[in-house]
Structure 1
Amino acid sequence: MVAFERTDIGLATLAVSVNTKEIVIAAQEPEVVDVDEARDVGLVTASETVSEIPGGVRLPEPALTHDAVQESVISSVRETKTINVEISEKQKRKRRQKSSTNFEVEEQEAGRRNKRPSRQHSKVSTYDESAMDKVMEEQIEGSSSRKGAKRKYDSVVRGIETEAMVAAALGFPRDSLTEEEIAANVVNVVGGKEQENYIVVRNHILAAWRENTNVWLEQETVMENIRSAHSKLVASAYKFLLFHGYINFGVAPAIKARLPAERNKAKVVIVGAGLAGLGAARHLMALGHQVIVLEGRQRPGGRVYTKRMEVDSVHAAADLGGSVVTGMHGNPLGVLARQMNWSMHKIKDLCPIYQPNGQPAVDEIDKKVEAQFNQLLDTCSKWREENHSKSAEISLGNIMEFLRHNCGMGTIPAERQLFDWHFANLEYANAQLLTNLSLSDWDQDDPYEMGGDHCFLPGGNVQFIEVLCEHVPILYGKTVKRIRYGDSGVKVETADETFEGEMVLCTVPLGVLKKGMINFDPPLPPYKVDAIQRLGFGLLNKVVMLFPKVFWDGHLDTFGHLEEDPRKRGEYFMFYSYAAVAGGPLLVALVAGEAAIAFEATPPIEAVTRVMTILRGIFEPKGIKVPNPVQTVCTRWGSDSLCFGSYSNVAVGASGQDYDTMAESVNDRLFFAGEATIRKYPATMHGALLSGFREAANMARATLARLDPPKLERTQSRDLHSYSTILVDLFKEPDLVFGNFSVIFNQQVLDPSSLAILRVHMISPGKSTNVSVEGTTEIFVPEQLFLYTTITRQQALDLSRLDNDNERLQHLCLNFGVKLVGRKGLGPAGDLLVSTIKSGRAAKKASPN
């Protein structure tokens, strides 16, 4: 399988740097540790080393890395308890599959390098999600034998570092607030000591609940380890995490016992009983809302579908849709498995590849092509950085083929077939032809990938669906045709019935929205319609075969097959063995790319015959008789009228911002959730579930706002101010000003290629311009509009030398190829830069020199 090297900015440093923040977690002893006192005994130093990351932003050198902890879980054995900052080669080659709401999808690492796992023998292993807590503690504890006060300080520091790592695994930045936290006003002032202490408290709460997800974490329990002076911060963090579904969620008896018996808050109609809809329903019920779920199928789960296959005494549970749970650390599905005491099967890295004639691929050629393929991805990444203005309208497939041809790679059939296998694997990862994937943004979600092992749930993922369905009111066979929404509420119409409520949550697949299968009244805003059409929604199919016995290597989880015809490179290119988890001898052949489209019209008998020819060509020369399957299933997800495809991707012309646009509600009445609405985790099962939690919180907030309109006005004003005030304040002292353009950058970095943030003051937004605008804009007065983008410092200087603003706008959009966006559209690199600039300026002002 493909694995991508990780250059994860979001997980690059500890959330809490103890030499710059007050420690608010109490030690084991009654005394409380103070940072200044800790410095006196040499526990921490006043200076930090820094490391350069792309774009010129500089961060503290990490003492520990999340990936290193992951590696310790994988190997289970370490000669030393210290964590190496370097990511091991084994970790780099680790499988990174996305867990699609529909299928297994390869996770894409931020290094944008694509590697098949090292094919070495490994034993069957069972994943224990709870082991992560112990590993973190042991790794940070080290082998120190210091005693007395210094040991006490070490214990506190290690505890804070451990909790920071847990928070990072859950998707929280180590040393800053999330956009959700800023909007929720968790602190009075963004930046400064209060925020630093809040982050320590937040991380402590997250880690405390993750330590035992089978219990309801009380706020009073949290206060047992926090100074009483920080009780308000505890209340703020606890309320935020509980309201947004980051703690005290799931299906453990203690959690279910806390569900309110009476639900008298606003009634919500949810369209779709997949992971997003079920997650939203459970969280809304926990918040006291009335819920009704409408599902078009006769079963729950949507694109997560486990089919029971059985003939005589042979039986197995086959996941026809989403099957791989990826990134167990921080994954809410991992929490559910832990609460239910389910053992997860860790997918092994071993993946032999067989030629069209059934012989194993030549090892030397295999390794050569794998290295060249990774080199291609690296070159593509560099090319798009150097040609940013062109990359948005160029496909990943076109540039890869162009570079491969011009570099003389894959010139002989054996090499070309292996290249095609890697290309097919990449198409499988994205459920899309490479020629349709955006070069600029196809891997935009890389910085957010969850760490940890990739696992199967023995017995099938229907078990997740079943426990989430418990006590949730669901009506089956209710395909929604029309959604009306307005100030008085919503009306959701099926073929024979109308359901009314105060709000509606639409969780249907992107394919359904693309086909216009639901009539929205009034119509969706143009910006939302455009995002629906820009994003890609591709296809992956499967041939699932139940055999009378296992004839393949039982130690394998995967093996690959090469095709001679490049157009058929995705046809049965990968086989998954489910024998260890399905309860019987089950084998699944994947069909990706162009072959997946053609497969929709292929007769099942023809498809199975072709698969059996491949299998017999591989195993019978070894003297292994391959029996006929006793039962087979061929999926047709593209023809399914309730999804029209598999999972989303960033097509040519689209961007990651389109996922944010998909998530936006309309008039606080119509809300959207699902894997195609979550920018950080698209095309994943956990992404769908998290989007449901997100929208449940948003709908609950909208309900509170309607109950108290005057308070809403004050809250909205404060939210808008707290969210935008950071940039507003920073641009009060710009580093460079020319015309209606102003620039801020990190003054500690002198590299001309380092990133800067450009703000354009649009005096008359009503006039027609040629500027491409995405995201949510910030309107401060009716005649003013501030738009932003990230460019290099050298580009900013180039703009300043032009004669007027019109020339600058044209140069910015045409020559630099950038898009002006609202504050929320700057992305993770922009947000990180804002935080870095603010911290740098605050430190400079605080310095006596």
Structure 2
Amino acid sequence: MIGNKVPQQIVIEVGDIFKRILKETEKVRDENTNDMSVLQAISIVLDKHPELRQEGLAHEVLQWYICRMEAWFAVDADMISLKFWDQEDVLTGGHGLMVQGYDPVIKALAKDIDIRLNHRVAKISNGCNKAMVTLEDGRNFVADAAIVTVPIGILKANLIQFEPKLPEWKVAAISELGMGNENKIALRFDRVFWPNVELLGIVAPTSYACGYFLNLHKATGHPVLVYMAAGRFAYDLEKLPDDSAANFAMSQLKKMFPDATEPVQYLVSRWGTDPNSLGCYSYDVVGMPSDLYERLRAPLGNLFFGGEALSMDHQGSVHGAYSAGIMAAQNCERHLLNRLGNLEKLQLDSFRHEILETAFPLQISRM
């Protein structure tokens, strides 16, 4: 038995209307000097073009498209910057799912590198051409330079002490960038009872109440559905214990499939309260200064900064984090070459090219 299915024609038509609405928001952006949220711009467009307003089921489908947009940025539409939301340099090639996760990439990049796990950093000091990292247990690591790539949520929460203190312009840049939240509830079943589609969506009168499941069976062959929640709703879900969160996801699923079987296993993420991240990835806030990324990336002596939050073109992505890390490493390399000389250049160049030319044993499945 299947719940009330939205006719595909309505989904397509409303999708086209949503694209038209977003296109009209570009005019709103051009007509206004001050930045505003995407949601406010959509409201202005609908006031100017009432023919684009949707009623009844079509309105709920439109809210679902807004929900999907919020999932992309991991924040509600009333917090997404109209000025910057579409400035990302999206890579070509379509979407795919890394069946083995990012583990093969991490292992390849980590080969022959001394990586210390479970070493929580409490303090970073730099001066006298040295950088010292102090752990929570009091141990110290001293080096010629350091690259900070912790999630921006950790820096925003001041969980790492800097000595000397970060300058005000750096602190301001950190505070002026947003940190989004998107959580997943993975449900594994003993059998597949849903259609072979990429997404299973739930429409509702508001984007907050909408939702969708990612069908992993289509790409992996495993009977797994993943419920996605972003923005304020993601934080609200984190207030629930795991079993209650899984039960909520099942209640959403049973709106589509009333006879759905119970999951045999579930996993619930909590990125917003995870002490190692305090969010999932960054986003551009309304009114963000144009020089923010320059200030974020700017080094402080022998202290350099990397991570997805510093990638202007590929923010909120793994490839953005990787490219920002390469940039920070190259800046660090130049700093050390200027100070230490050519002997280290041979060692650093060899190390860098070995990393960049590593062949990743990946298995990617098209959704």
Q: TM-score per shorter chain, which class? A: 0.7 to 0.9
**Which residue, 477, 499, 511 being the options, matches 2:118?**
477
Counterpart mapping for 1:461-500 below 5 A: 461-496=102-137, 497-500=139-142
- Which of 3, 17, 30 matches 1:385? 30
**Structure 1: runs of 5 or more not aligned:** 1-356, 710-849
Distance in 1 separating the partners of 2:227 and 2:213: 5
Letter in 2 for 1:569: A
Following TM superposition, by how much is the alpha carbon of 1:629 offset from its aligned partner in structure 2, in angstroms?
A: 0.5
Tell me, yes or no, if the aligned pair for 1:442 and 1:651 is still in contact at 8 Å.
no
Q: 1:130-153: per-residue Cα shift (whole Å, max 9, x none)?
A: xxxxxxxxxxxxxxxxxxxxxxxx
Q: Give the CA deviation at 1:358.
A: 2.7
1:120-171 per-residue CA deviation (whole Å, 9 max, x = no partner) reads xxxxxxxxxxxxxxxxxxxxxxxxxxxxxxxxxxxxxxxxxxxxxxxxxxxx
Three-state SS of the structure 2 residue aligned to 1:544 is strand
Paired-residue identity, %: 29
1:475 counterpart SS class: coil
Structure 2: segments with no counterpart, 5+ residues? 343-367
Offset of 1:428 from its aligned partner? 0.6
- Tell me the CA shift for residue 706 of structure 1: 0.8
Q: Tell me the equivalent position of 1:376.
A: 21
1:584 and 2:227 aligned: no
Residue of structure 1 equivalent to 2:247: 609
Q: CA deviation at 1:533?
A: 0.8
* 1:399 is aligned to 2:41: yes
Q: Which runs of 4+ in 1 moved over 6 A?
A: none
8 Å Cα contact 1:546/1:629 also seen in 2: yes
Higher relative contact order (CA 8 A, sep 6+): 2
Kindly tell me: are residues 460 and 480 of structure 1, through their superposed partners in 2, closer, same or farther at Cα, counting changes over 3 Å? same
> Contact conserved, 1:663 with 1:671, CA < 8 A, in 2?
yes
**Equivalent residue number for residue 55 of structure 2:** 412
Asked if residue 569 in structure 1 is aligned to residue 222 in structure 2, the reply is no
Hey, what's the Cα distance between the residues in 1 that align with 2:255 and 2:37? 35
Q: Contact (CA 8 Å) 1:460, 1:582: kept in 2 or not?
A: no
What does residue range 215-254 of structure 1 map to in structure 2 within 5 Å? none
**1:372 shift after superposition:** 2.0
Give the superposition deviation at 1:440: 1.2
Tell me the equivalent position of 2:276. 642
Q: CA deviation at 1:461?
A: 2.1
Give the Cα–Cα distance (whole angstroms) in 2 for the partners of residues 656 and 454 of structure 1. Answer: 30
The equivalent position to 2:329 in structure 1, one of 696, 711, 722, is: 696
Partners of 2:253 and 2:200 lie apart in 1 by 11
Q: Which one has a bigger Cα radius of gyration?
A: 1
> Pairwise CA RMSD of aligned residues?
2.0
- 1:696-749 superposed Cα distances (whole Å, 9 cap, x missing partner): 11111111111359xxxxxxxxxxxxxxxxxxxxxxxxxxxxxxxxxxxxxxxx
Give 3-state SS (helix, strand or coil) of 1:474's partner: coil
Q: Which residue of 2 aligns with 1:804?
A: none
Alignment of 1:252-271 (within 5 A): none
Q: Secondary structure at the match of 1:520?
A: strand
SS at match of 2:116: strand
> Which whole-Å CA distance do the structure 2 matches of 1:427 and 1:671 have between them?
31
Rounded to whole Å, the distance in 1 between the matches of 2:252 and 2:37 is 32
Which secondary structure does the structure 1 equivalent of 2:133 belong to? strand
Alpha-carbon distance in 2 for matches of 1:461, 1:579: 18
Give the whole-Å Cα distance in 2 for the aligned partners of 1:582 and 1:361. Answer: 26
Q: Would you say the 8 A contact 2:129–2:145 is kept in 1? A: no
Deviation of 1:468 (Å) = 2.0
Aligned length: 339
Match in the other structure for 1:524? 166
Give how far 1:680 is off: 1.4
Q: Partner residue of 1:457? A: 98
**Deviation of 1:380 (Å):** 0.8
Distance 2:54 2:221 in 1: 44
SS at match of 2:214: strand
Give the Cα–Cα distance (whole angstroms) in 2 for the partners of residues 569 and 423 of structure 1. Answer: 11
How far apart, in 2, do the equivalents of 1:441 and 1:577 lie?
30
| Pair 1:363-2:28 in alignment | no
**Equivalents in 2 of 1:482, 1:406: separation in Å?**
53
Shift of 1:639: 0.6
- Work out the CA distance in 2 between the residues paired with 1:482 and 1:520: 6
TM-score normalised to structure 2 length? 0.87
Distance 2:8 2:312 in 1: 38
Q: Is the 8 A contact 2:191 2:223 kept in 1?
A: yes
- Matched residue, 1:549: 191
Shift of 1:567: 6.0
CA distance in 1 between partners of 2:296 and 2:152 (Å): 9
In 1, Cα distance between the equivalents of 2:318 and 2:166? 26
Assess, with a 3 A threshold, how the Cα gap between structure 1 residues 588 and 427 changes in structure 2: closer, same or farther: same
Determine if contact 2:54/2:62 at 8 Å carries over to the other structure: no
Q: 1:433 to 1:614 in 2, by over 3 A?
A: closer
**Against the structure 1 CA distance between its residues 606 and 563, is the aligned structure 2 distance closer, same or farther, given a 3 Å change threshold?**
farther
**Is contact 2:176-2:285 (8 Å) kept?**
yes
